């Protein structure tokens, strides 16, 4: 897959057992030295293979937590590169999920005003969603992704075998984004989604790579003419307004994809109450979303906490709140006139009907 960008064009390659294909990764690419950021958990699982891949290159292990995306913690990673004499002829290579992508991408966009960067996404969420689109984001205080830039990797290598060792919650986090994109696509995409979700083993079936590629193509269709998020790309925040607020309010005890699933459910309820979504569509979407609702104790946060973070949403443009609402498959709209009273009413209804089903 080739992605056109005003910043730099880049590629996505699906390579099974990529850690055994080092020569393929670097073929035709000119660089002096490689430096590595590696997810600490990924390194524990694949230590021997990663050691063979990186050989004697410099690397640093990074805990995959949202707290690593603090602007204060970034200094440690800039220092690692600078003190080890990283130059513009070198390349930064990242093994990890969305946290390491955000951290690495922000550093790659700002160090020397832009350096070469490869990304190996190791979570389903990063493989099926965040790896493309150029966005890099870090957190400020308790607000998620408030500071950021646009800076894609030079190359992306997807190996779905990494998903086999993902904890269930983190795998389901990726499923959340896959569901979102296919609800944003068309009838053909919706059918593929249902075919995939009906499989017994979601990590290894004939639809797995197909649904990841489909998700990436849907995402590209939304941002290829709006790379810098000024119009159509805003719609990709379906489920994210409430979802990001929930992540922040819960101190990130809810994973991103889980929060997006909840956020879509909440947005659909708001759309139903506004008369934008019909009850039949609402019920049908609920059947898709509810199996992926995480276990969550709503008494740990209040609607005031959600509204507090919705007020700090970077997509907000006026005195009211912003949310992406949906009426049917592929029919989404951005509303900047959401009242706090609407959030309060919908929140009470949503929480009282929230059901967690152990899978």
Q: What class, spelled out in words, does domain 169-352 have in CATH?
A: mainly alpha
Q: Determine the pLDDT at residue 241.
A: 95
Strand ranges in the chain using DSSP code E only, listed in sequence order: 2-3, 10-14, 34-39, 58-62, 91-96, 116-121, 135-140, 143-150, 155-158, 321-328, 331-338
- Looking at residue 32, the DSSP 8-state letter turns out to be S
User: In the predicted model, is pLDDT for residue 269 greater than 80?
Assistant: yes
User: In the predicted model, is pLDDT for residue 285 greater than 80?
Assistant: yes
250-268 pLDDT, tens digit per residue, is 999 999 999 999 999 999 9
Q: Given phi > 0 = left and psi -120 to 50 = alpha, else beta, which region is 44?
A: alpha
So where are the chain's domains?
2-165, 169-352
DSSP notation for 52-121 = HHHTT-EEEEE--SGGGGBTTTHHHHHHHHHHTT--TTSEEEEEESHHHHHHHHHHHHHGGG--EEEEEE
Which of 71, 115, 58, 124 lies closest to 96, judged by CA?
A: 124
User: In the predicted model, is pLDDT for residue 358 greater than 80?
Assistant: no
Look at 105 and 71; give whichever has higher pLDDT.
105
Q: Is 257 helix (H, G, I), strand (E, B) or coil?
A: helix
Q: What is the mean pLDDT of residues 154-162?
A: 98
Report the range of poorest mean pLDDT among 121-125, 177-181, 224-228: 224-228
User: In the predicted model, is pLDDT for residue 142 greater than 80?
Assistant: no
Q: What is the mean pLDDT of residues 228-250?
A: 94
Alpha-carbon distance values, 233 to 194, 219, 237, 311 (Å): 24, 9, 8, 21
The share of the chain scoring above pLDDT 90, in percent, equals: 91
Distance between CA atoms of 181 and 245, rounded to whole angstroms? 20
User: In the predicted model, is pLDDT for residue 340 greater than 70?
Assistant: yes
Query: For the domain 2-165, what is the CATH code?
Result: 3.40.50.1970
Q: What is the mean pLDDT of residues 199-215?
A: 97
3-54 pLDDT, tens digit per residue, is 999 999 999 999 999 999 999 999 999 999 999 999 999 999 999 999 999 9
Same fold, 2-165 and 169-352: no
Q: What is the mean pLDDT of residues 278-288?
A: 97
∠ CA 16-158-208, rounded to 5°: 75
Q: pLDDT-based confidence at 318, cuts 50/70/90?
A: confident
Q: Do residues 152 and 3 touch, judged by C-beta distance below 8 A?
A: yes
Q: pLDDT-based confidence at 359, cuts 50/70/90?
A: low
Look up the pTM and report it: 0.94
Q: Determine the pLDDT at residue 145.
A: 87
Q: pLDDT-based confidence at 295, cuts 50/70/90?
A: very high
Residue indicated by tokens 């937590």: 65
Report the range of poorest mean pLDDT among 53-57, 210-214, 288-292, 353-357: 353-357
User: In the predicted model, is pLDDT for residue 234 greater than 70?
Assistant: yes
Specify burial of residue 79 (Cβ count, 10 A radius: 0-12, 13-18, 19+).
Answer: exposed
Q: What is the mean pLDDT of residues 66-95?
A: 95
User: In the predicted model, is pLDDT for residue 342 greater than 90?
Assistant: yes
């Amino acid at each position: 897959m080739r992605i056109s960008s005003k910043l730099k064009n880049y590629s996505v390659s699906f390579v099974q057992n990529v850690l055994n294909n080092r020569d393929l990764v670097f073929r035709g690419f000119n660089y002096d030295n490689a430096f590595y950021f590696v997810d600490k958990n990924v390194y524990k699982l694949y230590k021997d293979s990663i050691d063979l891949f990186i050989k004697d290159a410099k690397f640093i292990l990074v805990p995959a937590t949202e707290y690593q995306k603090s602007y204060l913690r970034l200094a440690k990673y800039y220092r690692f590169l600078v003190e080890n004499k990283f130059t513009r002829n070198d390349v930064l290579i990242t093994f990890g999920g969305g946290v390491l992508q955000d951290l690495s991408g922000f550093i790659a966009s700002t160090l020397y005003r832009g350096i070469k960067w490869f990304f190996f996404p190791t979570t389903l969420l990063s493989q099926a969603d965040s790896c493309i689109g150029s966005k890099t984001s870090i957190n400020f205080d308790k607000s998620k992704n408030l500071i950021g830039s646009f800076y894609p990797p030079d190359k992306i290598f997807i190996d779905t075998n990494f998903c086999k060792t993902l904890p269930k919650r983190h795998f389901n986090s990726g499923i959340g984004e896959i569901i979102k994109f296919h609800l944003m696509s068309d009838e053909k995409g919706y059918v593929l989604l249902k075919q995939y979700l009906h499989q017994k083993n979601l990590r290894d079936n004939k639809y797995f790579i197909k649904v990841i590629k489909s998700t990436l193509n849907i995402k590209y269709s939304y941002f290829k003419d709006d790379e810098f998020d000024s119009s159509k790309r805003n719609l990709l925040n379906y489920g994210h307004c409430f979802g990001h607020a929930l992540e922040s309010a819960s101190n990130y005890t809810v994973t991103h994809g889980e929060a997006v699933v909840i956020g879509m459910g909440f947005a659909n309820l708001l759309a139903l109450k506004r008369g934008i979504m019909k009850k039949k569509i609402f019920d049908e979407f609920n059947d898709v979303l509810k199996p992926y609702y995480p276990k969550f104790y709503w008494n740990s946060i209040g609607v005031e906490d959600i509204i507090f973070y919705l007020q700090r949403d970077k997509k907000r443009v006026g005195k009211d709140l912003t949310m992406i609402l949906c009426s049917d498959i592929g029919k989404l709209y951005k509303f900047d006139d959401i009242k706090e009273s609407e959030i309060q009413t919908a929140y009470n209804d949503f929480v009282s009907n929230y059901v967690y089903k152990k899978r």
